[in-house]
Structure 1
Amino acid sequence: MMQDHNCSIDFVKSPFLVQEWRSSDRRGNRRERLRLDMIQTPSFNYHDADIIIFNTGHWWTHQKTYKGKNYFQEGRKVYNRLEVNEAYKKALWTWAKWVDSNINGSHTRVFFGGYSASHFRKGKWDSGGHCHEERQPVTNDTLLKPYPLMMKILESVISEMKTPVFYLNITRMTGYRKDGHPSVYRTPNVHQRIPGIIQDCSHWCLPGVPDSWNELFYATYLLSHHDLSSNN
């Protein structure tokens, strides 16, 4: 609660937006499944918020979603195999239907942030890939990675919603900043590489790229007042 500004800010961890189940079978083996048809339960507490910012994408690129075997569930159906992009689309439509059914767009401004790029070279984070020793951003557009299909899917879903959703497209802009990750240069001495530390190309240095995200959100928020008032 920020008493000086008479407002409160809540953070709800929901990396997939839809519900992830964790259970154990009779042998005690742990199971995880992602319910593509169910929004994550804490969402119902925020129907009357003035601003809601959603985000998902980065966790869909993790290893367990790409394995995909018996992980995705819809109703009683557990998919033996399901392409990640198809599962992502189903999850987004579950989210979109929940927003359209539960959010009053004339009162609550809904934002959706794209996911940020990673810049691993010569492998993934757990197989020798690295992003350290990068000191300059990308200056040649031909060196950028292709625009992610998942972001195209998101844009398509948003375009068909009845609730206005303000899209914060950070994916392209972060694609240039291969120099902005903490990589292996983290505490206790941020200027010295720590032997054996795991590469971090999923997060960003502060101050740095996330400050630009905040500026984008603020500018979009100001524009949203004008857009909604024009529609009314």
Structure 2
Amino acid sequence: MRGANSIKDQSLIKRLLPCTLHILLPIPLLPIILLSLYFYPFSLPSSPPTKLSPPSSTSTPLLPSAEKGYVCDTPCDYSNGRWVRDKRDPLYNGTTCATIKESQNCIINGRQDSSYLYWRWKPNQCHLPRFEPNTFLQLIVNKHLAFVGDSLARNQIESLLCLLSTVSAPKRVHHKGSRRWYFASHNASVSLYWSPFLVQGVQRSNTGPLHNIVHLDRNEKWAKDVHEMDLIVLSVGNWFLVPSVFYEGGKVLGCLNCEGLGYTDIGFYGPLRKALRATLSSIIEKKGGKGNGVNVIVRTFSPSHFDGDWDKEGTCSKTRPYMKEMKVGEVDEEIRRIEMEEVENAKVKAKEFGGFSLEALDVTKLSWLRPDGHPGAYMNHFPFGPGHVQNDCVHWCLPGPIDSWNEILLEMMKSQECRLSLVNLSSSH
């Protein structure tokens, strides 16, 4: 863009400068001046690139300071609002970002309808700014941001990496236990820990068990790295909807859709609550016991939009958001309610320790209103041909509606940082 601006500047100079010279200089000199401009064009010096301050152990995000009379923004309910038209192009696309998972690169895979890209989420109570990558990077200077959970966590982190790569290229680094990227410009790490139940579990598969095996009271492997995490975003839900056997205290508690195994079917609401509660308690105890706080955000359930069953040629072919009030499905809403309640329960426990911030990134409604944002058949490259066409109506195209999750995440991080700064300021006086 800087090069394009420079060309425009030169073009403007060439149009305006002769007129100015005609007024300011004697007429006989004008032909000489014009010839000089033609052979030796004048150009404005381009603005120097923004220089990033080298991170240090004492670096802090560049946010308004309470000492200068600023106050933190009033908390906003980002969960209620509507999708409105936005003519601006996304910050990235399927060719400018190298970290997009192939099955979510919808336009490159042949989707011709691009109207789903031109909507933005407008909360009822406040303004949601467009994602600002430099601000986000400043907030994670010298920090480790960890996404923990299922494939929706992976979908969100891939969106975030694309947004951040518009100003700073992440480098993939080796780490045992996670997929990790490093932003050398800010000494910041962003990681993805695959843990679809958050607690210890084995996923069902064609070659393994035909149902999930979930230990609701045991930590998963990722928990050993909690001590090095500064911000944790948890994502859970979808894997609890498939046949499972749930354990507690080493004994079978019950199961979900496990005909023939002889166990009591207890559904999945109770096990989901237990898993999330155990996870949040473990984080609080591990970090709080060492006097080292952490920011934890639970991203609420993201509804799917299958017209029909997902494994029986269900599709999602809509091309516009729901424009009228559409009630979230009963199951989706109940999962969201459990997640919101467990965040509030964890806040009570976290009060025993200092430096904790727990919040819910409530995306259930805004995601429910976007049936047009999934890959659908375009999870594969030019998919239509002979044979069965599988649709993905769970994950989100990149770029797409999921980018709004990270816009809200950024606003939540800014609020957390501001509140923490105020607490530190008051405690120092």
Which amino acid is the alignment partner of residue 374 of structure 2?
Answer: H
Structure 1 residues 170 and 194, CA gap change in structure 2 (3 angstroms): farther
Q: Classify the secondary structure of the residue corresponding to 1:148.
A: helix
Q: Which residue of 1 aligns with 2:372?
A: 179
Inter-CA distance 174–76: structure 2 relative to 1 (3 Å threshold): same
CA deviations 1:159-203 (Å, max 9, x no partner) are 1112431211111110100011110123423xx645522110011
1:188 and 2:381 matched: yes
Structure whose alpha-carbon radius of gyration is higher: 2
Alignment partner of 1:154 is 2:339: yes
Summarize deviations over 1:6-62 as a string: whole Å, max 9, x none. 111221101110101489xxxx9847520001121221212132211111112222x
- Per the alignment, residue 46 of structure 1 pairs with 226
Other-structure match for 1:112 = 298
* Offset of residue 231 of structure 1: 4.5
Q: What is the distance in 2 between the residues matched to 1:106 and 1:170?
A: 29
Match status 1:33 vs 2:213: yes
Cα pair distance change 1:22/1:203, threshold 3 Å: closer
2:275 aligned counterpart, secondary structure: helix
Matches within 5 A, 1:191-202: 193-195=384-386, 196-202=388-394
3-state SS of paired residue (1:125): coil
Query: CA-atom RMSD, angstroms?
Result: 2.4
Check conservation: 2:217, 2:248, Cα contact below 8 A. yes
The answer to whether the 8 Å contact 1:119/1:131 transfers is yes
Partner of 1:127: 312
- 1:68 counterpart residue number: none
1:86 shift after superposition: 0.8
Residue 218 of structure 1 aligns with an amino acid whose one-letter code is L
Q: 1:165 to 1:194 in 2, by over 3 A?
A: farther
Which among 71, 78, 86 is matched to residue 270 of structure 2? 86
TM-score w.r.t. length of structure 2: 0.47
Q: Aligned in 2, Cα 1:11/1:41: closer, same or farther, shift over 3 Å?
A: same
Distance 1:194 1:228 in 2: 56
Long gaps (5+) in structure 1: 66-70
* Higher mean C-alpha displacement, 2-11 vs 199-208: 2-11
Q: Distance in 2 between matches of 1:8 and 1:168?
A: 21
Contact 1:116 1:174 survives alignment (8 Å): yes
SS in 1 for 2:411: helix
CA distance in 2, matches of 1:84, 1:109: 27
User: Does residue 405 of structure 2 align to residue 213 of structure 1?
Assistant: yes
- Name the structure 1 match of 2:359: 166
Contiguous gaps of at least 5 residues in structure 2: 1-181, 255-262, 351-355, 425-429
What is the CA deviation profile of residues 67-97 of structure 1, one whole-angstrom value per residue up to 9, with x for unaligned ones?
A: xxxx100012212222210111111121121
In structure 1, which of residues 97, 120, 133 is the aligned counterpart of residue 281 of structure 2?
A: 97
**SS of aligned partner of 2:228:** coil
Amino acid at match of 1:102: K
CA contact (8 A) 2:379 2:391 kept: no
Q: Report the identity percentage.
A: 28
Corresponding residue for residue 75 of structure 1? 249
Aligned to 1:218, the other structure's residue is in SS state: helix
Aligned residues of 1:20 and 1:35 also touching (Cα < 8 A): yes
The answer on whether the counterparts of 1:118 and 1:201 sit within 8 Å (CA) in structure 2 is yes
- Which residue pairs with 1:56 in the alignment? 236
Q: Please point out which of 184, 209, 213 is paired with 1:3.
A: 184
What amino acid maps onto 1:226 in structure 2?
C
Give the paired residue count: 218
> Is the Cα–Cα contact under 8 Å of residues 166 and 224 in structure 1 kept in the other structure?
no
Separation in 2 of the partners of 1:160 and 1:55?
A: 17
Partner of 1:20, secondary structure, is strand
